[in-house]
Amino acid sequence: MKLRTIALLMIVLTAFTLIGALTVKAEEELEVEDEAEIREEFELDFESEEVEVDEVEIEEQVDEHGNLRIKNDYISIAVNQEEENTGRFAVDVTGGNPIMESDEGKPLIYGRPTPWASYTTIRIDGEDYVFGGETNQRAGRLGEYGEEVKAPYITDEGAIETVYRYGDLLVIQNLSFVRSSTTGLPDTAQIKYELKNESEEVKEVGVRAMLDTMVGDNDGAPFRVGPEPVTTDTMYTQDELPEFWQAFDRLSDPMVIAQGTVKGSQVTAPDEIYFSNWGSLADGVWDFDFEPGREFIREGEFQLDSAMALYWNPEPLPPGESRTYITNYGLGGITIVPGILSLGVTSPAEVVLDKQTDSFPVLAYIQNTAEIDAEDVAAEIKLPSGLSLAEGEAKKELGDLESGGTRQLVWDIVPEEGVSQEVEYKVEVTAENTDDNEVSRRVDIIGPPELSFDLLAPAELEVEDRLLEPNPFKVTTTVKNTGASTAYSPSLEISLPPGLRLARGERDIKYLGYLSPGEEVDVSWYLEATGIKGQLPYAIELSSVNADSKSKLEFIDIPEVEAAVYLESHTDDLRVGDYLQVTLNMANLNDFYKLNTILEYDVEKLELLFASRGTLFTKGDKLLSWEEPQVDTDEGRIELAGALEAEEDILNDKAATFYFRVNRAGPLSIGFSHLDLIDEEGVEIDSDVEDLEFTIRGGEDYD
């Protein structure tokens, strides 16, 4: 039974001392696998490239503890659905590596029976908020919390999403399966946060994702980062980060191999990564107690308990825009040959020759399993045609390696430009007083993605009944990937001149997720012309994190239209006793801000029932400035006034609606006796004005 001891957390807040009991972090009993015998006669290749991954099915369910869970043949992702700790997640191994049984059922992120120990912090303008539901446990207890918008649910793509709001910032957590960079299998959880600024102001926003990592039964396994095992508080900046880090208990026969991918085309490189003990990271919602060189002993207790935190530091997020942060964590692949000098080698299973990739890392792990020191140990990488060293020597002298000791080595390898092929390299390790060992590993070098797009849009608009038609109009792009590899995070951005704008609800940037080789997709915008005539240009740019950008400049011919204020009846055939609806419409007004008007009607023939504001003076669910109409039923006068929050171009909208009952027959008009259209500077806007005239057919008059 694994038990995180109950302890007291001492927190000094100004002049007060708060003493609280730490929540026991316990887990159900884990069955310990028997130690496998060292197999010296053959390779243990943990890539399992023979598995047909495209046929893997994703299952979704609510497990026996109430967690929402998705799983495939390799791992599962569980999300807490309880009122406390809502949205927190954990990752477990299901079938894991197809050729080893020791990882089956083991945790990768602590979270049994319900996830709570890992959490994510959203920093907004200097304030720190914990994502998801509130907690009474240690992890994140001192943070602020937001409002649930959508409880955990399964998306159409098979991911688990949870949505929370923090003031005007909307945050979406999306958890899904992706392929590991070193195994090539969908045995990795993609952890994604999308932040949307729905306010009218720039916000400084950042994210910290804290993971309570666990490698099988080992809660304090060292992190393998580049050429170093990390066993004490350590921080890496973005420039120092490798593409991925790994963690495992022993090299000769690892129970579980965990891997976090932090750089590359599929993820957002964090500004900093901290490796520390779980207790310190649990207590510190953003800043935490960090002591370089300190062992991973849980803060306030006496057990090894390693954890990590990825920081994407706060940056300005403009109004209406979004930003996405992505990291991957799951299983890693190491090709291992046990021996007196056990040797494991890992590198990406697939290297794409794209604009981001100049080279790729090869990592070698060496462990002396003998009871004596290995003398004059050396390791050498042997490269085939098509691969070369970026710098340094192929052979590395390591000196003596003590009994049970391990070393890590990294070579930076450059693939030949423009050559797609599967290659195999070899790493050999030698010592003066032990047997040699060697490992071979394959890498698939493939060409880059190649994106292009076609554009379908009207060349001109026409004028029909005062208005531009069609308006809004549709612009459609067909995006294609004709390259040899997947394009990650492709996006389309449209840039508009004065005279064109996005229709309500549209966004200037459209995100496509990813585009596989040979795949194509249609992406559309609805645009509105605001009345400026001429050949108006607009540009569309297609970009991706690992493909070259493409752009196109197009033109649309906009004819001249006149600003107009007019009354419109919605009934052509009127009789005495009918009800009449009349709308006050405004069209083609540039820089409109404020309206003052007086309407007159014949009180002998019409009886005003009521008048209401039009959609012009609303904004979503919000009511804008609108003065209650002043009505003189004796003289037949209606006085109206309303204003927007800021001036804007009015294409065609209703300022007011009037409801009358018809009392007598004969010709009739409803018209303007006064009209002021004002911009934000107080300047009057010129417009055509059109009264409403019609004839009421006979019938018995109403008294």
Q: What DSSP assignment string belongs to 598-653?
A: EEE--TTTEEEEEEEE-GGGEETTEE-EEEEEEEETTTTEEEEEEEEEEEEEEEEE
pLDDT in tens, 102-142: 678 889 998 889 999 999 999 999 999 999 999 999 999 99
Q: What is the mean pLDDT of residues 159-187?
A: 95
Highest mean pLDDT among 56-65, 96-105, 277-286: 277-286
Whether residue 42 is predicted with pLDDT greater than 60 in this model: the reply is no
CB atoms within 10 A of CB 492: 20
Of the ranges 131-140, 470-479, 502-511, which one carries the lowest mean pLDDT score? Answer: 502-511
Mean pLDDT along residues 74-90: 97
Q: Interior CA angle at 589 toward 587 and 594, to 5°?
A: 110
Residue 614 phi/psi, 5-degree rounding, is -95, 175
Q: Render pLDDT for 510-556 as a digit per residue (tens, 0 to 9).
A: 888 789 899 999 999 999 998 889 999 999 999 998 889 999 999 99
Q: Please provide the DSSP assignment of 22-48 as one string.
A: PPPEEEPPPPPPPPPPP--SS-EETT-
Q: Is pLDDT of 53 > 60?
A: no
Nearest residue to 358 (alpha-carbon basis) of 442, 263, 488:
263
Rounded Cα gap, residues 376 and 381, in angstroms: 17
d(CA 162, CA 150): 6
Q: Compute the distance between CA of residue 679 and CA of residue 241 in angstroms, rounded to an integer.
A: 54
Per this entry, what is the length of the chain?
703
Distance CA 609, CA 499 (A): 39
Residue 36 in this model has a pLDDT that exceeds 90? no
Min mean pLDDT across 6-10, 632-636, 671-675 is at 6-10
Decide if pLDDT at 378 tops 70: yes
**Under 8 Å CB-to-CB from 34, ≥6 apart: which residues?**
none
487: Cβ contacts below 8 Å, ≥ 6 apart: 449, 451, 481, 514, 515, 544, 546, 547
Q: What is the pLDDT of residue 121?
A: 98
57 — pLDDT class (breaks 50, 70, 90): low
Bridge partners of 469, per DSSP, are 462
If you average pLDDT over residues 5-10, what whole number do you get? Answer: 29
Amino acid symbol at 142: L
Between residues 355 and 405, which one has the greater pLDDT?
405
Q: Kind and range of the H or E element at 280?
A: helix 278-283
Per-residue pLDDT at 622:
86
Model confidence over 211-249: pLDDT tens digits?
A: 999 887 777 778 999 888 899 999 999 999 999 999 987
Q: What are the structural domains of the chain? A: 42-331 (2.70.98), 335-445 (2.60.40.10), 451-558 (2.60.40.10), 564-697 (2.60.40.680)
- The pLDDT of residue 338 is 92
Over residues 58-72, the mean pLDDT reads: 89
The pLDDT score that the predictor gives to residue 299 is: 85
pLDDT over 50 at 52, yes or no? no
Per-residue pLDDT, 356: 72
Span of 32-46, 220-234, 664-678 with lowest mean pLDDT? 32-46
To the nearest whole number, what is the mean pLDDT of the chain? 87
Tell me the per-residue pLDDT of 136-170, one tens digit each, with 9 for 90 and over.
Answer: 999 999 999 999 999 999 998 899 999 999 999 99
- Whether 377 has a pLDDT exceeding 80, the answer reads yes
CA distance 298 to 238: 26
Q: Which of 56-60's residues contact partners 24+ apart within 8 Å by CB, and which partners?
A: 56/186, 58/158, 58/177, 60/154, 60/158
Instruction: Please give the share of the chain, as a percent, with pLDDT higher than 70.
Output: 90
Q: Is 195 exposed, middle or buried (0-12, 13-18, 19+ CB in 10 A)?
A: buried
Whether the bond between 559 and the residue before it is cis, its omega within 30 degrees of 0, is no
The pLDDT assigned to 253 comes to 78
Task: Identify the residue whose tokens are 């693939």.
Answer: 415
pLDDT level of residue 698 (50, 70, 90 thresholds): confident
Local confidence band at 700 (pLDDT 50, 70, 90 cut-offs): low
Rounded to an integer, the average pLDDT of 166-193 is 95
* The pLDDT of residue 597 is above 60: yes
- The pLDDT assigned to 343 comes to 96
Mean pLDDT across 14-23: 30
Structure tokens at 663: 């009392």
Dihedral sign from CA coordinates of 295, 299, 303, 307 = negative
